[in-house]
Amino acid sequence: MTRPVVLITGGASGIGRACAHRAAADGARVGVLDLDAEAARAVAAELPGEPGAHAGAGADVSDGARTAAAVDGLRDRVGPFTGLVASAGIAPRGGIDTVTDEQLRSAFAVNVGGVVHAVQAVLPDLRSARAGSIVALASLAAFRGGGLLGGTAYAASKGAVVSLIRALARELAADRIRVNAIAPGPTATPMLGAADESENRAFAETTLLGRAGEAEELAGTAAFLLGPDAGFITGQVLHANGGAHFG
């Protein structure tokens, strides 16, 4: 069996970092890509596995050329990719009365364009193997709107991710490439940690389980979608939100 090689964007923190650790623990070689190159290399160095099994690099995923160049460098170190977790994202706050042009541009450039650019960068590997799995991070905000879960620009961009993965699942099916998304609810990450205590209580109260999710739980969901047990699943959104929304 070919050893998995997984690219994780936004892999230096939060859900992305947890996904990198889970993939490495499951035996994969991991390429960690993040806007913060130093942090990406630090995460790659802390992952379990033999020396040199993992590598980190920096790139702004909203820039297709820079993303492609960084992924090329990672491929040279860890090998052709068999999977992708597109986790890089930003969450601008603010409703329709205050959303700015820059917030709209940046939300769609990173949250949607970043998925497109990461897919484009690994697609030659997946097509060559006629196999592979792509997992993108959507959000509960795509289904319940913004509010506590993120502003207008964030919710709209994550809704676009849902449409994107369905289009890609149809487009790439002939190459036997599966494409799915995870829609997390409130999750204990640095992004959620920026909220104050009252907001965090309100986040927890949106779930039936009465708590935020853990990044490691979302990483387990991504591992399932990447792996063979999800071999007949494509074009789907897996809701991992503690019962905050029934997909």
Render pLDDT for 16-43 as a digit per residue (tens, 0 to 9): 999 999 999 999 999 999 999 999 999 9
Concerning whether 107 is annotated as a catalytic residue, the answer is no
Confidence at 197, pLDDT banded by 50, 70, 90: low
Q: What is the pTM of this model?
A: 0.94
Contacts of 62 (CB under 8 A, 6+ apart): 106, 109, 110, 113, 114, 117
pLDDT higher at 196 or 186? 186
pLDDT in tens, 100-126: 999 999 999 999 999 999 999 999 999
Residue by residue, DSSP assigns 203-242 as: HHHTSTTSSPEEHHHHHHHHHHHHSGGGTT--S-EEEEST
To which residue do tokens 């809704």 refer? 159
Confidence at 196, pLDDT banded by 50, 70, 90: low
Do 36 and 52 form a contact (C-beta atoms < 8 A)? no
- Average pLDDT score over the chain: 93
Q: What percent of the chain has pLDDT over 70?
A: 94
Query: What is the phi-psi region of residue 206: left when phi exceeds 0, alpha when psi lies from -120 to 50, beta otherwise?
Result: alpha
Rounded Cα gap, residues 123 and 25, in angstroms: 24
Confidence at 145, pLDDT banded by 50, 70, 90: confident
| List of domains in the chain | 5-185+216-239 (3.40.50.720)
pLDDT at 67 over 70: yes
* List 154, 165, 212, 245, catalytic entry: 154
